[in-house]
């Protein structure tokens, strides 16, 4: 698909180029007919052929030069100067020198050639001045761009070209009302009565001394201990006596159950014997 598109574009370019060349060939043919008619002295026919080439878009400066020369021979000097001026502009724009203007004008001599050369020189000078102006503008543009790149960025102060807003006059200040007199100050309060001095705390009672287990006992304690010990021994003695009496009674009432007979005399009976 891409190949077909490229072939179509190439064909159109070839056809367009061929058309341009064909058109240029036709216009060049009319230019040649006009030049032959001019040198043959047939100025009316020369004017007709050259005008046909110009009206159909020819940018050949030679067409304007020879039609201007034809105008001079017909006594129309003003139209001749206009054609000379236009032809000189086209020649100055033809930097590549595609049209051989100098060779085509070799047969033109005399005052007509001097007048034509005047317009050619003026057009060349104007072209040089225009080229110099363009060169200076490009140089200035490059210099400004270089300065802009080298300079550090500055903080924006305002919008260039914008007019400052007019400052509105401030309204006159309103008079302030008179200040009210301040109320008289209250007399200072009398100083507070000093608080009575605090009473000193009562001295604490000394704690009772702890009993020393290693201290020697007093005589009263010894006597009280002896009395208590005697009471305990008396209680245990009475209990032991009652126990012994009960055991004796029990031994006398119980039958002789021991196979060996009664216990020998003189030995206490064993209450636990069988």
The pTM assigned to this predicted structure is: 0.46
What are the strands, taking DSSP E only, across the chain?
none
Residuewise pLDDT in 10s, the chain (274 residues): 556 545 555 554 444 444 444 557 888 899 999 999 999 999 999 999 999 999 998 889 999 999 999 999 999 999 999 999 999 999 998 877 788 888 888 999 999 999 999 999 999 999 899 999 999 999 999 988 888 888 776 655 555 555 555 666 666 667 666 666 566 566 556 555 656 666 656 666 655 555 555 545 444 455 555 555 556 556 556 666 676 666 656 555 544 444 444 445 555 555 555 4
The fold adopted by the segment(s) 2-148 is: 1.25.40
What distance in Å separates the CA atoms of residue 72 and residue 93, rounded to the nearest whole number? 25
Structural tokens at position 131: 């080229």
Provide, for the chain, the percentages of residues in helix, strand and coil under a 3-state DSSP scheme, each rounded to the nearest 5: 60, 0, 40
Q: How many CB atoms lie within 10 A of CB 99?
A: 18
Coil, helix or strand at residue 118: helix
The dihedral through the CA atoms of 12, 17, 21, 26 has a sign that is: positive
């Amino acid at each position: 698909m891409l190949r077909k598109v490229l072939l179509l574009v190439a064909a159109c370019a070839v056809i367009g180029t061929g058309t341009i060349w064909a058109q240029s060939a036709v216009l060049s043919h009319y230019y040649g007919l006009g030049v032959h008619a001019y040198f043959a002295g047939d100025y009316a026919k020369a004017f007709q052929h050259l005008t046909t080439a110009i009206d159909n878009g020819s940018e050949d400066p030679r067409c304007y030069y020879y039609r201007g020369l034809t105008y001079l021979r017909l006594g129309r000097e003003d139209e001749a100067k206009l054609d000379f001026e236009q032809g000189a502009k086209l020649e100055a724009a033809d930097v590549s020198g595609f049209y051989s203007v100098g060779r085509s004008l070799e047969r033109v001599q005399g005052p007509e050639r001097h007048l034509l050369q005047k317009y050619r020189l003026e057009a060349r000078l104007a072209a040089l001045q225009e080229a110099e102006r363009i060169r200076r503008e490009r140089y200035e543009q490059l210099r400004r761009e270089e300065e802009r790149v080298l300079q550090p960025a500055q903080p924006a102060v305002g919008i260039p070209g914008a007019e400052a807003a007019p400052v509105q006059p401030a309204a006159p200040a309103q008079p302030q009302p008179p200040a009210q007199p301040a109320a008289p100050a209250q007399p200072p309060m009398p100083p507070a009565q000093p608080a009575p001095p605090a009473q000193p705390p009562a001295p604490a009672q000394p704690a009772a001394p702890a009993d020393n287990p290693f201290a020697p006992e007093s005589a009263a304690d010894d006597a009280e201990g002896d009395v208590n010990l005697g009471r305990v021994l008396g209680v245990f003695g009475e209990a032991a006596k009652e126990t012994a009496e009960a055991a004796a009674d029990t031994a006398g009432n119980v039958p002789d159950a021991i196979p060996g007979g009664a216990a020998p005399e003189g030995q206490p009976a064993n209450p636990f014997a069988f």
